[in-house]
């Protein structure tokens, strides 16, 4: 069966997260999106874990959970969390975020008891832990061999494994002797598999994509995801697929264009300056306007560490598909500032009611079938996004990329600035 999984989200007890980010809303919008597996997020936070136990119940012999007494919610949940480790390494302070997956409440309770020695788990859904990355992995794996740890949003400038400001140059440097327990990394919004293929040292790791969302809206949850083809819908089979780098079961990942991410190019938003790697290097990564250091973008950071050309393709690896949330496509098409306007919702739900969920619209629905529900030009727009006819002016220093649809036959369609749109929303889910 096809399983579309978003394994990294946050609950309402995480910093800068929607107060309405509860499990019922997550389940409701996961169904609308087409996700049939989603992380619980934040199982280290005591109040959130209590809500998880009250709202979800184990599905027998699967290691997954479902909503209690809601048979129409078919989405399964996996116990997940994100933590931040803070430690010194070679006279430099390192702050690295990690995603943890666990198979049961019993394992989670044991793990939380261990991690509570290193920080206040109640302080935030994503707690700060005073321990090294190797220590974290050692503690997690000591509880269960079926637990999994992988670096979150591995390339963002701050709080990531390869981060330009507090990261490492290799996974081995970060996790040291515990690297043997690291089987994957999360690419984040500002990078995609093709960028990661440029580092031969990453060939042994499975590349995962998740939303890291802080709200349940369909333009947030599932904006990046992993598409599995499994014979058994179980926690163990998902973990085994990741551990064995099995491209017959992990078929592809769903990606936004990496240029859409807020840290793709190097730049300085206060001065409205952004550069591709070669140009940033010419300026020695110094803003020519204010003379302060530029925020080094993910593309430049990849270029620094890459040992392969930009067109390298890793043979046998899962492929990927670049998509844009359907709400974003519609709002750009009709020329409104926000995906949450009634004009957008009307067209959105007309498509969802016909095709079942958002991914079916974005990935599977033929253009002719789409045109029977919405006007022909919007149907054409959706298919052009699917086919990769989407150009993005790269994001930088916390500013999202500007989406531009390459559609000559639709030249009369007003495409608004995505940067303006997203700045008017709650864009706190940026890690």
Q: Whose structure tokens read 């591995």?
A: 154
DSSP 36: S
Write down the pLDDT at residue 67: 97
b (16+ CB within 10 A) / e for 375-409 = eeebbbbbbbbbeeebebbbbbbebbbbbebebee
Q: How far apart are CA 333 and CA 149, in angstroms?
A: 40
CA dihedral 142, 132, 201, 177 (to 10 degrees): -50
Q: How far apart are CA 313 and CA 208, in angstroms?
A: 17
Q: How far apart are CA 41 and CA 83, in angstroms?
A: 10
Task: Note the pTM of the prediction, 2 decimals.
Answer: 0.91
CA dihedral 184, 187, 192, 194 (to 10 degrees): -40
Write down the pLDDT at residue 425: 34
User: Which is nearest to 365 in space by CA: 377, 375, 380?
Assistant: 380
| Burial group, residue 270, by CB count within 10 angstroms (0-12, 13-18, 19+) | exposed
Output the tens digit of pLDDT for each of the chain's 431 residues.
Answer: 999 999 999 999 999 899 999 999 999 999 999 999 999 999 999 999 999 999 999 999 999 999 998 888 889 999 999 999 999 999 899 999 999 999 999 999 999 999 999 999 999 999 999 999 999 999 999 999 999 999 999 999 999 999 999 899 999 999 999 999 999 999 999 999 999 999 999 999 999 999 999 999 999 999 999 999 999 999 999 999 999 999 999 999 999 989 989 999 999 999 999 999 999 999 999 999 999 999 999 999 999 999 999 999 999 999 999 998 999 899 888 888 789 999 999 999 999 999 999 999 999 999 999 999 999 999 999 998 899 887 888 999 999 887 776 544 333 333 333 333 333 333 333 23
Judging by DSSP bridges, how do beta strands 184-186 and 206-208 pair with one another? parallel
Write down the pLDDT at residue 406: 52
Handedness of CA 258, 286, 430, 390 (dihedral sign): negative
Q: How far apart are CA 314 and CA 195, in angstroms?
A: 11
Contact 407, 380 (CB under 8 A): yes
Q: How far apart are CA 53 and CA 143, in angstroms?
A: 20
């Amino acid at each position: 069966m096809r399983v579309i999984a978003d394994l990294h989200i946050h609950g309402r007890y995480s910093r800068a997260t929607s107060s309405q980010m509860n499990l019922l809303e997550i389940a409701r919008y996961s169904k609308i999106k087409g996700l049939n597996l989603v992380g619980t997020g934040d199982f280290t936070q005591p109040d959130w874990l209590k809500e998880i136990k009250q709202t979800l119940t184990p599905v027998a012999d699967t290691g997954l959970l479902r909503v209690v007494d809601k048979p129409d919610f078919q989405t399964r949940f996996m116990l997940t969390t994100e933590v931040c480790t803070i430690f010194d390494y070679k006279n430099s302070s390192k702050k690295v975020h990690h995603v943890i997956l666990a198979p049961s409440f019993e394992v989670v309770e044991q793990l939380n008891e261990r991690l509570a020695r290193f920080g206040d788990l109640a302080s935030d859904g994503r707690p700060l832990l005073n321990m090294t990355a190797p220590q974290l992995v050692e503690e997690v794996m000591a509880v269960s061999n079926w637990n999994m740890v992988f670096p979150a949003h591995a390339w963002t400038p701050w709080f990531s494994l390869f981060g330009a400001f507090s990261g490492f140059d290799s996974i081995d440097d970060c996790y040291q002797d515990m690297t043997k327990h690291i089987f994957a990394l999360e690419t984040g919004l500002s990078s995609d598999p093709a960028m990661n293929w440029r580092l031969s040292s990453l060939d042994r790791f499975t590349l995962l994509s998740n939303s890291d969302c802080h709200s349940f809206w369909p333009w947030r949850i599932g904006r990046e995801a992993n598409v599995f083809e499994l014979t058994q819908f179980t926690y163990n089979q998902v973990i085994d697929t990741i551990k064995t780098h099995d491209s017959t079961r992990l078929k592809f990942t769903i990606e936004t264009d990496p240029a859409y991410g807020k840290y793709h190019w190097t730049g300085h938003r206060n001065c409205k300056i952004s550069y591709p790697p070669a140009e940033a290097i010419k300026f020695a990564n110094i803003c020519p306007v204010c003379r302060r250091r530029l925020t080094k973008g993910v593309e430049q950071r990849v270029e620094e560490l890459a040992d392969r050309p930009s067109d390298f393709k890793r043979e046998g690896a899962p492929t990927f598909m670049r998509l844009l949330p359907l709400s974003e496509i519609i709002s750009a098409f009709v020329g409104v500032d926000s995906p949450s306007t009634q004009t957008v919702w009307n067209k959105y739900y007309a498509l969802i009611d016909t095709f079942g969920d958002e991914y079916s619209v974005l990935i599977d629905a033929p253009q002719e079938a789409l045109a029977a529900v919405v006007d022909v030009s919007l149907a054409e727009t959706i298919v052009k996004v699917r086919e990769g006819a989407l150009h993005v002016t790269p994001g930088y220093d916390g500013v999202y990329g500007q989406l531009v649809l390459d559609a000559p036959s639709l030249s009369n369609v007003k495409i608004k600035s995505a940067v303006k749109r997203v700045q008017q929303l709650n864009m706190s889910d940026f890690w």
